[in-house]
């Protein structure tokens, strides 16, 4: 009886103990004591789960005492904790042995520890820290080997992403994939991005013909399973200003200099009395104005056992620091991500993005741009004349015919560009068995753009920009593409230690579209309001309206085989083989084959290192592969009827068409042979993370457009051009190092510091045409010798001109020096002395040589984040060392304004050995030489930010899980010796594809629109 009573009491007690439910809350920390947001917190053997918020906190309601809670997060060991009370603190340890973070590699994904290629991942945390306006800015200084440069600082201007140097005269841009399909970073809201993966070596061979320039893979955010609805809102407001102004002559300095110039030329003084001129007009102050930038975005996400969802929207509005609304950019995005488990074996994932872009722009770069005119317009000229009209720059020979009042130019500029684009992907994954799965995925882009440009009837006083008849040009363009992937994956573990994965891929890509443009003349009332092709009834001088159209259709079919193998997680092998067939090439060379191999050895898994407490992880890597590049103009192998010709019909001359660019049916693929060897290690309880690589990237069979050929082929006819040929080879080699250290000093203070550096040695190995070089670019106005070359033994696009040797101080020095008369003008004391490079006793065009190049030899990035209690601070910087730039923004005419360095000019023997005399007479001082080439190395403090997060105890009371305020400065300061506006901007001649820019002819500064400095205040809210 007693035993039965005791058993009953025990059962009742046990039932009570296990039926007791608790509301459990807690915090999850990493190995350094930093809070971990986004950790999956799940009640074991139950559907109840949640995720930690931004400060690592979580809460679960009604959890029975003794229940097991599972904590899991990529890169950390999964932990299980039994509920014994209402408060839990979990410190997760870095999983250095497994490194479970999954890295997207294209058609497959691997744990980070198993990656055998040179791959870098930028997380959403980095993007959220930086708050970039453009996605590309998140890669500036954060990824070793990656250089991000702006073509202009104007709102909405394109940016260039180059991976491990410049390897071709054609398109050098990395190829971008968004959720598996080819995409464009400019259409994305940065807050929508989960991660960015950069493939730098043979790992990119999985994309075959698209991989030569490297691959940027973007994974967008999705909802999380078993999570409650989360709302995130980010808002920022900023004011922009120019980051730099050039030091120009004021009115008095200008007048005195001009008097000296005229006196040296034997002419009457233009300013006999300079008193009262004062400082005059500062044209930079007139054109540069503060401008606002406003950025808002919101996202709503969540999920159940089988459904995940995320909806986001964003609005960006940015005006230009030049021209205000005449140079502005608007971007609106709406994005929907839905995932569903249709069954236990079939999963559906969809992502759709709608983007609206609206951009107005000025003449930003080049001779005749607004900045070019502001620099060269004399400070003695007022903005407006006494009648209130814009002052006219005189059209005398000393001023030329292309310099106009920059404020008048802004006022008379009218254009508008609008783009509406829808893109996305739909994927279906079928887990047939535990080992075998099949994925079908389609990604697409469809865009429609319209543009309108109005040329107002205006006179600038006899300048080349005078418009005698108003006109309006309107264009509409439709672009489409889709990518269809069929992916079969099989993975198996054999004999317990051998892991294999085999993947077969079939992919089809098609792009097509059309464009229509027309120009009408005599716009009613000479007004932008009536600038419409329907109202402009006037005809062109040829007797009709100018109308043009085009269409295109290009396809690519590819097959990919991928084999991944590892033994005990120690010895890793990866093989890729891809076959591409592209309609960009003729039938003889339409197919290309691209193999690659990568291997790795995880040394820390060996018995002699496995229990080492100092070295947590060590892996050696090696890779080699052949990749392709078909980024040439559409129908590049064939001739098009886009040239001009005159024919005789019935005894009369008739205008017609002819073959434009000459065909080359034997055109082949560019091939990139990439070799990489590197290692990764972690030390000090995973606090120190270090990666090093040595790479050699050799580009053969370069697709170089406009190769010089004999004139008898008709290449000099109107509209004609030389063919594109496989005519060269370029090699880039160098080292990459990146190191990251994080630590927790106390419960209130922790920090993270990262540094990366890349060296690049660029050399042209071959130019297989009749001359042994190609040349491009332009310097000054009317100079026939081109300033940039691609030639064997030199960096691609190096500057080719005269080398100087100081200033002639007297006539005796001139007499003792080889004659410079062949250059075209007589030489006098105070003129530049050029070197006789070939030693023939004469200075002429044969003495031109290497005088610099625009390719940096070293790029670096330095990033620092600090957290103290509720305060956070970050600073990001990047640098470019060894790159040169040509100072071409100064018009070489006698009466234009000058930079104030001319105050140190030669005025008599011994006064200067660097800056030549001024004169109205003809000299050789304006010829392209190293006098105009400057070291454009720089170090830029890109982002500085200070934030404060409201105490969670208080924010919880008002129903907010995160409330953060911050202030920051973008583009705070640039340390450089370069005299121009922006040493980080770079542009070049447009390639035949009308999209990319050539590296031959780049680095010539015609007056870059500077990247603005932005003072920002922002708010981050999570509900």
Let me know if residue 504 belongs to a domain: no
Query: What pLDDT sits at residue 619?
Result: 95
Please compute the mean of the pLDDT values over residues 698-717 and round it to a whole number.
74
Let me know if residue 61 belongs to a domain: yes
Place of tokens 């005749």: 368
Instruction: Reply yes or no on whether the pLDDT at 972 is more than 90.
Output: yes
For 825, the token pair is 């003008």
110 close to 600: Cβ distance less than 8 angstroms = no
What are the DSSP calls for 748-778, one per residue? SEEEEEEEEEEE-EEEEEEE-SSSSEEEE--
Average pLDDT score, the chain: 90
Instruction: Reply yes or no on whether the pLDDT at 74 is more than 70.
Output: no
Place of tokens 């063919």: 723
Please compute the mean of the pLDDT values over residues 544-555 and round it to a whole number.
86
The number of domains in the chain is 1
Please compute the mean of the pLDDT values over residues 980-999 and round it to a whole number.
83
Secondary structure (H, E, C), 975-1002:
EECCCCCCCCECCCCECCCCCCECCCCC
Largest CA distance in the chain: 133
Q: Percent of the chain having pLDDT more than 70?
A: 94
Length of the chain: 1023
Instruction: Reply yes or no on whether the pLDDT at 513 is more than 70.
Output: yes
Running DSSP on this structure, what letter comes out for residue 94? B
Instruction: Reply yes or no on whether the pLDDT at 415 is more than 50.
Output: yes
Confidence of residue 715 (pLDDT cuts 50, 70, 90): low
148 close to 139: Cβ distance less than 8 angstroms = yes
CATH of the domain at 80: 2.60.40.1120
Residues 6+ apart with CB under 8 A from 17: 65, 66
Of 228, 229, 225, nearest in space to 307 by CA = 225
Residues 6+ apart with CB under 8 A from 9: none
Q: Residue 62 sits in which domain range?
A: 20-91
CA distance 851 to 788: 10
The region that residue 971 occupies, defined by phi over 0 for left and psi between -120 and 50 for alpha, beta otherwise, is left
**Pure H helices in 729-850:** 811-816
Of 561, 589, 449, 543, nearest in space to 505 by CA = 561
Confidence of residue 6 (pLDDT cuts 50, 70, 90): very low
Query: What pLDDT sits at residue 542?
Result: 65
Burial of 132 (0-12, 13-18, 19+ CB in 10 A): buried
Higher-pLDDT residue of 3 and 966 is 966
557 close to 550: Cβ distance less than 8 angstroms = no
The region that residue 954 occupies, defined by phi over 0 for left and psi between -120 and 50 for alpha, beta otherwise, is alpha
Query: What pLDDT sits at residue 7?
Result: 47
Confidence of residue 13 (pLDDT cuts 50, 70, 90): very low
b/e code 181-192 from CB counts within 10 Å (16+ = b): bbbebbbbbbbb
Instruction: Reply yes or no on whether the pLDDT at 78 is more than 50.
Output: yes
Q: Percent of the chain having pLDDT more than 90?
A: 67
Burial of 718 (0-12, 13-18, 19+ CB in 10 A): exposed
Confidence of residue 518 (pLDDT cuts 50, 70, 90): very high
95 close to 111: Cβ distance less than 8 angstroms = no
Query: What pLDDT sits at residue 725?
Result: 81
Place of tokens 């069979």: 701
Let me know if residue 901 belongs to a domain: no
Residues 6+ apart with CB under 8 A from 80: 44, 68, 69, 70, 71
Instruction: Reply yes or no on whether the pLDDT at 15 is more than 70.
Output: no
CA torsion angle 319 325 329 331 (round to 10): 100
Q: What does the pLDDT look like over 98-129, one tens digit per residue?
A: 356 788 888 888 888 889 999 999 998 899 99
993 close to 214: Cβ distance less than 8 angstroms = no
Query: What pLDDT sits at residue 33?
Result: 65
Q: Which of 7-21, 132-146, 720-734, 788-802 has the least mean pLDDT?
A: 7-21
Q: What does the pLDDT look like over 626-675, one tens digit per residue?
A: 998 887 777 777 777 666 667 777 777 777 777 777 788 888 888 999 99
Please compute the mean of the pLDDT values over residues 879-907 and round it to a whole number.
94
Determine the Cα angle at 679 with ends 676 and 682, to 5°. Answer: 155
CA distance 991 to 997: 5
Instruction: Reply yes or no on whether the pLDDT at 787 is more than 60.
Output: yes
CA distance 155 to 130: 18
Running DSSP on this structure, what letter comes out for residue 721? B
Running DSSP on this structure, what letter comes out for residue 256? H
Q: Are strands 291-303 and 307-320 parallel, antiparallel or unpaired?
A: antiparallel
Let me know if residue 54 belongs to a domain: yes
Let me know if residue 59 belongs to a domain: yes
Query: What pLDDT sits at residue 350?
Result: 96
For 464, the token pair is 């080349």
Q: What does the pLDDT look like over 23-65, one tens digit per residue?
A: 888 888 876 566 777 788 888 877 788 888 767 788 888 888 8
Helix and strand counts by DSSP (H, E) for the chain: 8, 52
Query: What pLDDT sits at residue 4?
Result: 53
Query: What pLDDT sits at residue 34?
Result: 65
Query: What pLDDT sits at residue 84?
Result: 85
Let me know if residue 53 belongs to a domain: yes
Let me know if residue 991 belongs to a domain: no
Q: What does the pLDDT look like over 301-355, one tens digit per residue?
A: 999 889 999 999 999 999 999 998 899 999 999 999 999 999 999 999 999 999 9
Secondary structure (H, E, C), 299-315:
EEEEECCCEEEEEEEEE
Let me know if residue 35 belongs to a domain: yes
Instruction: Reply yes or no on whether the pLDDT at 966 is more than 60.
Output: yes
Q: What does the pLDDT look like over 366-404, one tens digit per residue?
A: 788 999 999 999 999 999 999 999 999 999 989 989 899
Q: Which of 735-749, 753-767, 788-802, 986-1000 has the least mean pLDDT?
A: 986-1000
Q: What does the pLDDT look like over 921-937, one tens digit per residue?
A: 999 999 999 999 999 99
Of 853, 875, 744, 864, nearest in space to 793 by CA = 853
Please compute the mean of the pLDDT values over residues 139-166 and round it to a whole number.
92
Q: What does the pLDDT look like over 269-314, one tens digit per residue?
A: 999 999 989 999 999 999 999 999 999 999 999 998 899 999 999 9
For 913, the token pair is 């050995």
Instruction: Reply yes or no on whether the pLDDT at 93 is more than 80.
Output: no
Helix or strand holding residue 688 (H, E): strand 688-700
Q: What does the pLDDT look like over 808-839, one tens digit per residue?
A: 999 999 999 999 999 999 999 999 999 999 99
Determine the Cα angle at 466 with ends 465 and 472, to 5°. Answer: 85
Coil, helix or strand at residue 846: helix
């Amino acid at each position: 009886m007693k035993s039965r009573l005791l058993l009953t009491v025990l059962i009742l007690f046990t039932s009570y103990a296990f039926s007791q439910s608790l509301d459990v809350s807690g915090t999850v920390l990493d190995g350094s004591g930093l809070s971990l947001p986004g950790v999956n917190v799940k009640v074991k053997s139950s559907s109840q789960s949640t995720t930690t918020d931004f400060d690592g906190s979580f809460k679960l309601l009604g959890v029975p005492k003794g229940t097991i809670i599972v904590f899991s997060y990529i890169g950390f060991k999964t932990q299980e904790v039994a509920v014994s009370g209402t408060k839990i603190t979990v410190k997760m340890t870095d999983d250095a042995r497994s490194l479970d973070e999954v890295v997207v590699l294209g058609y497959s994904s691997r744990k980070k520890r198993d990656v055998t290629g040179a791959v870098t991942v930028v997380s959403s945390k980095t993007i959220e820290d930086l708050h970039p306006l453009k996605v590309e800015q998140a890669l500036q200084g954060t990824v070793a080997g990656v250089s991000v440069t702006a073509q202009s600082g104007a709102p909405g201007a394109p940016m260039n992403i180059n991976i491990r140097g410049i390897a071709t005269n054609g398109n050098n841009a990395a190829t971008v994939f968004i959720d598996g399909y080819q995409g464009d970073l400019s259409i994305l809201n940065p807050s929508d991005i989960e991660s960015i993966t950069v493939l730098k070596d043979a790992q990119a061979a999985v994309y075959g013909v698209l991989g030569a320039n490297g691959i940027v893979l973007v994974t967008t955010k999705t909802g999380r399973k078993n999570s409650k609805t989360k709302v995130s809102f980010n808002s920022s407001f900023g004011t922009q200003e120019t980051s730099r102004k050039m030091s120009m002559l004021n009115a008095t300095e200008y007048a005195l200099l001009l008097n000296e110039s005229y006196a040296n030329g034997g002419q009457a003084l233009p300013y006999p009395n300079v008193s009262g001129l004062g400082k005059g007009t500062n044209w930079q102050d007139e054109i540069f104005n503060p401008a606002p930038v406003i950025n808002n975005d919101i996202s709503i996400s969540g999920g159940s056992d089988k459904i995940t969802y995320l909806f986001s929207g964003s609005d960006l509005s940015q005006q230009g620091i030049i021209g205000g609304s005449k140079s502005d950019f608007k971007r609106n995005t709406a994005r929907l991500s839905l995932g569903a488990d249709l069954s236990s074996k079939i999963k559906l994932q969809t992502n759709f993005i709608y983007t609206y872009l609206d951009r107005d722009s000025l003449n930003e770069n080049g001779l005749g741009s607004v900045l070019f005119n502001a620099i060269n317009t004399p400070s003695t000229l007022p903005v407006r004349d006494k009648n209130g009209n814009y002052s006219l720059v005189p059209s005398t020979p000393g001023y030329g015919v292309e310099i106009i009042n920059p404020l008048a130019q802004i006022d008379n500029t009218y254009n508008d560009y609008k783009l509406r684009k829808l893109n996305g992907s739909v994927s279906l994954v079928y887990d047939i068995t535990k080992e075998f799965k099949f994925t079908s995925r389609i990604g697409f882009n469809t865009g429609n753009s319209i543009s309108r440009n109005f040329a107002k009837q205006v006179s600038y006083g006899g300048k080349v920009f005078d418009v005698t008849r108003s006109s309006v040009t309107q264009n509409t363009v439709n672009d489409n593409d889709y990518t269809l992937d069929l992916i079969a994956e099989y993975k198996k573990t054999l004999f317990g230690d051998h892991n294999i994965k085999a993947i077969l891929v079939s992919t089809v890509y098609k792009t097509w579209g059309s464009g229509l443009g027309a120009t009408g003349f005599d716009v009613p009332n000479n007004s932008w309001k009536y600038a419409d092709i329907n109202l402009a009834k006037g005809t062109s001088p040829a007797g009709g309206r100018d109308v043009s159209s085009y269409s295109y259709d290009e396809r690519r079919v590819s097959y990919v085989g991928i084999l991944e193998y590892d033994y005990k997680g120690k010895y890793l092998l990866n093989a890729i083989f891809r076959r591409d067939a592209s309609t960009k090439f003729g039938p003889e060379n339409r197919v290309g084959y691209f193999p690659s191999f990568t291997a790795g050895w995880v040394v820390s898994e060996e018995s002699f290192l496995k229990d080492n407490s100092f070295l947590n992880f060590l892996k050696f890597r090696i890779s080699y592969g052949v990749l392709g590049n078909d980024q040439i103009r559409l129908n590049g192998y064939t001739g098009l009827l886009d040239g001009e010709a005159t024919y005789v019909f019935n005894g009369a001359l008739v205008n017609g068409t002819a073959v434009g660019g000459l065909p080359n049916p034997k055109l082949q693929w560019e091939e990139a042979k990439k070799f990489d060897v590197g290692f990764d290690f972690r030390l000090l309880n995973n606090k120190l993370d270090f990666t090093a690589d040595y790479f050699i990237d050799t580009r053969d069979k370069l697709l170089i457009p406009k190769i010089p050929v004999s004139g008898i082929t008709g290449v000099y006819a109107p509209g004609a051009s030389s063919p594109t040929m496989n005519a060269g080879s370029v090699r880039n080699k160098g080292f990459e190092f990146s190191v990251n250290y994080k630590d927790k000093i106390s419960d209130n203070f922790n920090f993270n510091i990262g540094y990366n550096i890349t060296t690049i040695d660029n050399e042209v190995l071959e130019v297989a045409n009749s001359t042994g070089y190609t040349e491009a670019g332009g310097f000054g106005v009317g100079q026939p010798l081109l300033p940039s070359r691609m030639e064997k033994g030199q960096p691609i696009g190096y500057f080719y001109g005269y080398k100087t040797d100081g200033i002639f101080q007297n006539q005796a020095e001139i007499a003792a020096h080889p004659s410079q008369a062949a250059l075209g003008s007589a030489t006098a004391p105070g003129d530049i002395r050029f070197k006789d490079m070939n030693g023939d006793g004469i200075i002429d065009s044969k003495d031109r040589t290497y005088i610099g190049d625009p390719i940096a030899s070293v790029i670096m990035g330095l990033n620092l984040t600090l957290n103290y209690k509720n305060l956070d601070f970050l600073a990001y910087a990047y640098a470019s060392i060894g790159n040169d730039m040509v100072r071409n923004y100064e018009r070489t005419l006698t009466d234009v304004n000058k930079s104030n360095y001319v105050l140190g000019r030669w005025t008599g023997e011994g006064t200067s050995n660097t800056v030549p005399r001024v004169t109205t007479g003809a000299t050789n001082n304006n010829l392209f030489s190293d006098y105009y080439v400057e070291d454009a190395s720089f170090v830029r403090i890109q982002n500085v930010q200070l934030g404060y997060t409201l105490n969670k105890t208080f924010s919880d009371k008002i129903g907010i899980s995160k409330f953060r305020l911050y202030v920051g400065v973008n583009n705070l300061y640039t340390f450089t010796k370069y005299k121009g506006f922006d040493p980080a901007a770079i542009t070049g001649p447009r390639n035949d594809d009308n999209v990319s820019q050539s590296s031959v002819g780049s680095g010539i500064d015609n007056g870059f629109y500077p990247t603005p400095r932005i003072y920002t205040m922002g708010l981050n809210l999570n509900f």
